[in-house]
């Protein structure tokens, strides 16, 4: 049985559009937002919703690369870690949302093809795949809270 894989994919799914204990999901937060809202910083030192979603995406891409046996594709100092609103506007809010939902499906689909033993494997940096998936869930939840604060500040 793949109890750990099932638990992790359930948590990922609940964070995006399920019914988690915290009663907040990405779908609830971002579905009905207008482009004018998502590219606005509530203060100069606070990221916009679009910047946060882009940041989340970059780390999801990196984790998926690692899970597939590749290497990390981003660091804290990478230019793509925090793309600015001007860059993101060119891509558009609809495209950012679509990429977020696709990354979700890609990660879950990949994990569902693995077994719990897979999660114990260690990568080149010395971390287990379980470490990365749990970290991704924590990262997603942390930034979901930030999105909520940004939206509160904008209202």
14-23: average pLDDT? 86
What pLDDT does residue 35 have? 86
Helix 93-112 and helix 3-17: axis angle, to 10°?
160
Domain boundaries, the chain: 3-154
Q: What is the largest CA-CA distance in the chain?
A: 49
Q: Among 33-37, 125-129, 144-148, where is mean pLDDT lowest?
A: 33-37
* Residue 98: pLDDT band with limits 50, 70, 90: very high
Q: What does CATH list as the number for 3-154?
A: 1.20.120.450
Question: Is residue 1 predicted with pLDDT exceeding 80?
Answer: no
- Tokens, residue 20: 């988690």
Phi and psi at residue 128, to the nearest 5°: -75, 160
Phi, psi of 122 (to 5 degrees): -115, 140
Residue 100 · residue 88 · CB < 8 Å = no
Average pLDDT over the chain, rounded to an integer: 94
Please report the pLDDT score of residue 36 as a whole number. Answer: 86
> Does residue 107 contact residue 64 with C-beta atoms inside 8 Å?
yes
User: Per residue in 21-80, pLDDT tens?
Assistant: 887 899 999 988 988 899 999 999 999 999 999 999 999 999 999 999 999 998 898 888
């Amino acid at each position: 049985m793949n109890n750990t894989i099932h638990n992790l994919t359930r948590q990922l799914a609940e964070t995006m559009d399920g019914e988690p204990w915290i009663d907040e999901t990405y779908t609830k937060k971002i579905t009905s937002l207008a482009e004018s809202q998502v590219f606005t910083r509530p203060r100069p030192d606070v990221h916009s919703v679009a910047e946060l979603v882009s940041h989340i995406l970059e780390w999801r891409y990196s984790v998926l690369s690692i899970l597939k046996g590749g290497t990390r594709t981003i660091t804290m100092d990478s230019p793509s870690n925090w793309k600015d609103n001007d860059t993101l506007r060119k891509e558009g809010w609809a495209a950012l949302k679509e990429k977020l939902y696709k990354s979700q499906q890609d990660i879950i689909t990949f994990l569902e093809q693995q077994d719990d033993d897979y999660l114990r494997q260690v990568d080149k940096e010395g971390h287990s795949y379980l470490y990365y998936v749990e970290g991704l869930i924590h990262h997603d939840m942390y930034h979901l809270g930030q999105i909520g604060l940004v939206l509160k500040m904008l209202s």
